[in-house]
Structure 1
Amino acid sequence: MFRSSADLFAELNRMQSLLDQVFPTATSSIRAAAGAGFPVLNVGATPTAIEVQALAPGLDSDKLEITVDRGLLVIAGERKSQLPPAGERTSVYANERFSGPFRRVVSLPEDADAGRVNASYRDGVLRISVARRESSLPRRIEVN
């Protein structure tokens, strides 16, 4: 059967890889959805803001819709297909780029200030900064 425990662990790792291919599972957290979506998101926080970066090349920034409502940041839009029109003398062998409408939702923490949101789109990266409420920021108290 197996010669050593190292062989056993190698075989278990191989079986786990096969199972992951057949039944893909994606890790998720309270603030991120499982699986890959478009655009791919990086979400982080600083002491003064929640920072979201959406990796979304090929978008028209005028067509992006960003809203904050009831603690949810919604990024929606559409990416047009770069494929040639149907009927032309071109064959497509692989198409790995996403095209079509999209919508991503990020749950914001309770101290997010929906009235202070900034967004910019440059070089295919959408950057959104949601400020934290002033009342939730640490402050120094003087002792008299």
Structure 2
Amino acid sequence: MSDLYSRSDLFSEFDRLQRQMASLFGGLPSSIRAGRLGAFPQVNIGTTDDSIEIVAFAPGVNTAELDVSIDKGLLTIAGERKPVRPEASDDARDDRTRNDVRTYAQERFTGAFRRVIELPQNADPDKVQARYANGCLSITVGKREASRPRAITVQ
């Protein structure tokens, strides 16, 4: 048994490894289902008795560039967010144009995106509404009548 365990306790080694992994991946979601790194747009998903509510956070996206569709129980949000170029300041000493600005750091996602969300079986693809306001795409998917809660009269 002494060959299997060294001077240090096995559980303390696991704790040390877990702390190292946590510091290595600090700031990431606490579970795999909580979110993916770099997923765009980020979404909140909730439910009411009558509907499934999805809010996709997509600031800076033109509504003409958004495509929302449902097929075989999958809700797809696709589109493109165009880059925004900073305008040259009026007090610039040279005659550079906006096209001459070189980016050396960029934290804002730009480009094409596609996000697929699996809907519950009780989602009704014929009852979908989508609206975009203040950078949030709100999608309401109605539930099928048979899946809604109902009161049963006891005789």
Residue-pair matches, total: 134
**Which of 17, 26, 29 is the equivalent residue of 2:22?**
17
**In structure 2, what is the equivalent of residue 92 of structure 1?**
103
Q: 2 CA distance for matches of 1:13 and 1:26?
A: 13
Identity of aligned residues (%): 42
Q: TM-score scaled by structure 1?
A: 0.78
**In structure 1, what is the equivalent of residue 7 of structure 2?**
none
Matches within 5 A, 1:11-90: 14-20=19-25, 27-29=31-33, 34-83=36-85, 88-90=99-101
Where structure 2 has 5 or more consecutive residues not aligned to the other structure, the ranges are 1-12, 87-96
Q: 2 CA distance for matches of 1:44 and 1:72?
A: 16
Look up the equivalent residue of 1:119 and give its one-letter code.
A
Q: 1:140 to 1:25 in 2, by over 3 A?
A: closer
Is 122-131 or 12-21 further displaced after alignment? 12-21
Matches within 5 A, 1:116-127: 116-127=127-138
Contact 1:26 1:35 in 2 (8 A): no
Where structure 1 has 5 or more consecutive residues not aligned to the other structure, the ranges are 1-7
Structure number with greater Rg is: 2
Look up the equivalent residue of 1:16 and give its one-letter code.
M
Cα RMSD for the two superposed structures: 3.0
Q: 2 CA distance for matches of 1:66 and 1:95?
A: 27
